[in-house]
Amino acid sequence: MKIKLYIVLSVLVLSFGTVFAKDMAVVYIDMSYILKNLPQYEQANEQLTMLSKRWQKEIDAAQQEARVMATNYQTEQIFLSETMRAEREQEIVKKEQEVLELKRKYFGQDGELYKKREALIKPIQDDIYNAIQDLANEKRIDVVKDRSADPSLIYMSSKLDVSDQVLRKLGAK
């Protein structure tokens, strides 16, 4: 008796879920398409690329300096006293630590690049989110999914893509 009741309740729950899902308005956006069509995003990316290259050059120069120090030390090592060898080894280790610190400072988890990306990209993402939310409220959309982030999406009707509408809300052409 309990099994029959369980089956009947399961069928009812599934039926109601299907009815509600049919009434739900679902649309898609393509976030990569939206970002490519926003000039401010492209500008922010260019700034981040320039900073990244500049910082990488600084790190490369410091690494080169450490390599030269190590090479010079190896060739001069036999002519140096014990104390001079220890000093040179410490200088090399210090220089290598400086390189590691530069890498952490610029490209680490909370490094300068992360902070700059947060400062430049987050406002753009917030604007996109607000435009999507406004559009969803206006058109009574219940769910907005990002098709560029959904690998399981095989097919989608183009009439469900509201990316251009979001771009218009953002003032992009």
Per-residue pLDDT of the chain (173 residues), as tens digits, is 555 545 545 554 555 554 455 578 889 999 999 999 999 999 999 999 999 999 999 999 999 999 999 999 999 999 999 999 999 999 999 999 999 999 999 999 999 999 999 999 999 999 999 999 999 999 999 999 988 887 777 888 888 889 899 999 998 87
Domains of the chain, residue spans: 22-169
Helix, strand, or coil here: 26? strand
Residue 148 is given by DSSP the state G
Q: For residue 121, with 0-12 CB atoms within 10 Å meaning exposed, 13-18 middle and 19 or more buried, which class applies?
A: middle
**Would the pTM of this model clear 0.75, i.e. be above it?**
no
